[in-house]
Amino acid sequence: MKLNLLKEKKILILGLGREGESSFKFLRKQFPKKTIGVADQLNFNRLPDNIKKLIKKDKNTRFHLGKNYLKALKDYEIIIKTPGVPLKILAPYLSKNQIITTQTDIFLEQYAKQTIGITGTKGKSTTSSLIYQILKKAKKSVELIGNIGRPPLNFFGKKRDFFVFEMSCHQLQGLKISPKIAVFLNIYRDHLDYYRNFQEYFSARKNITYWQKEGDVFVFNYEMKKLRNLAKKTKALKIPFGVKNKKGCYLKNNWIYYEGKKIIPPEVIPLKGRHNLFNVMASVAVASLLGIKPKIIEKAIKEFKPLEHRLEFVGEFGGVKYYNDSIATIPEATIEAIKALSDVETLILGGFERKQNFKNLLHFILKKKIKNLILLPETGKRIYKELQNIKKKWEPNCFLANNMKEVIEIAKKVTKKGICLLSPASASFGLFKDYRDRGEQFKKYLYEISKK
């Protein structure tokens, strides 16, 4: 999506969250007197204060707010969609001549050659932050942008060597342009409340490499067959990472190597779990590809501070260690968290229903003989029912909780030693604003109740 096309057409910003606010500021800077439409399912009074203040006094803004907000789509030629709005709900309101675009599309049109894009069901934020820290340590001019909470158009017009872009499936959906360097970490079943099926979800993520050309680079997880098959279809240079491959970035004699060069031994990495080993390997592959010296890569990784809500050690209270892994929104992530910690006595599960398959997780919980399960709605109820239907010689104590305060009260009573782990295997919406809110409430009530 080129700027001159935006200048000539009638534009609607669809969705007034963080990215919608950013889009409005971007367009107003580019076109000070242009009439811009804004649409959101919330009424004006329910919008965040910063959004209300921004748009209220703008005389060249048309408002389409409330339950009938989608009816306004027909009056515009270009719709700049925010990631949280599913394409499937727009279809009845669109004509063939309308263009749906996004911040990601507009940004990459200008900056694809400087962009390192990272996607995958899990590990995006950690890997993006690692790559960013390594590049900073190497004295490169770099910005960390995207799904990590920094809308890309906030950085339009800035001259940088690199933009490290965390790319969600929603940001990738519908793209017809890919970044110069694309990193695909993994693919698991997720977001099936948003997409019609897994294939549509995977297709959205594929766009990170689908439009790459010769001279571009695709860094991918060799352990995943779907990604190996995807690599065969891209025109980009292919760089695998994993423990089973012997090219690209791989593990040998307890060292991470890149194309025959020793980079870093896993024991000095300050991140727990096999999944984080893969995140580090992807970061090593990108940094090595860009010619950064192994000593700089190793130093940056060793100094890296784990992000909040990702196997975050909260503290030890009454002889029990508490970990916050609120980011674990799929069963596979919870399995990896349990493996990383090994001594889990109490596990906190459950959340928003996204049609996840919990079978493997439940069998893993039984295998590890985790003593206590504290279950949150809605999936917590389904997890409990499915657990009852499994033939077993041993089963955990199960406790149903309605909110995070109840969770902590139960955890304090039933956990006698070892580890209490929040790793819900479910999305956070419903009881919580997002995974950050869920993790913050976990820490808040843990501190409050522990003081008593």
Q: How confident is the model at residue 85 (pLDDT cuts 50, 70, 90)?
A: confident
| Mean pLDDT in residue range 354-365 | 94
| Residue that has been written with the tokens 């995070």 in this structure | 404
Domain with CATH 3.90.190.20 in the chain: 312-451
Burial of 75 (0-12, 13-18, 19+ CB in 10 A): exposed
As annotated, the residues of the chain forming the CATH 3.40.50.720 domain(s) are 3-101
pLDDT for 96 equals: 84
CA 217 to chain centre: 21
Name the CATH code of domain 312-451 (choices 3.40.50.410, 3.30.450.20, 3.90.190.20, 3.30.420.40).
3.90.190.20
pLDDT at site 193: 77
CA distance 434 to 388: 29
Least confident of 42-56, 283-297, 432-446: 42-56
Instruction: Over range 160-169, report the average pLDDT.
Output: 97
Q: Find out whether the peptide bond into 378 is cis, omega within 30 degrees of 0.
A: yes
The pLDDT assigned to 451 comes to 86
Q: Does 162 have pLDDT greater than 90?
A: yes
Cα torsion through 288, 293, 295, 300, rounded to 10: -60
Q: How far apart are CA 68 and CA 267, in angstroms?
A: 56
pLDDT range class, residue 1, cuts 50, 70, 90? low
pLDDT of residue 5: 83
Instruction: Using the predicted structure, report yes or no on whether residue 80 has a pLDDT greater than 70.
Output: yes
Residue closest to 240 by CA, chosen among 282, 196, 189: 282
pLDDT at residue 8 is higher than 90: no
Q: What is the pLDDT of residue 106?
A: 95
Residue 3 has pLDDT above 90, yes or no: no
pLDDT class of 332 with cuts at 50, 70, 90: very high
- Yes or no: is domain 3-101 CATH 3.40.50.720? yes
pLDDT on residue 190: 85
pTM (predicted TM-score): 0.91
74 DSSP 8-state letter: G
User: Residues spanned by CATH 3.40.1190.10 within the chain?
Assistant: 105-302
Q: What are the DSSP calls for 203-272, one per residue?
A: HHHHHHHHT--BTBEEEEETT-HHHHHHHHH-SSEEEEEESS-SSSEEEETTEEEETTEEEE-GGG-SS-
Cα separation, 335 vs 365, whole angstroms: 8
Apex 433 CA angle, 65 and 352, nearest 5: 105
Mean pLDDT computed over every residue of the chain = 94
> Which CATH class, in words, describes the domain spanning 105-302?
alpha beta
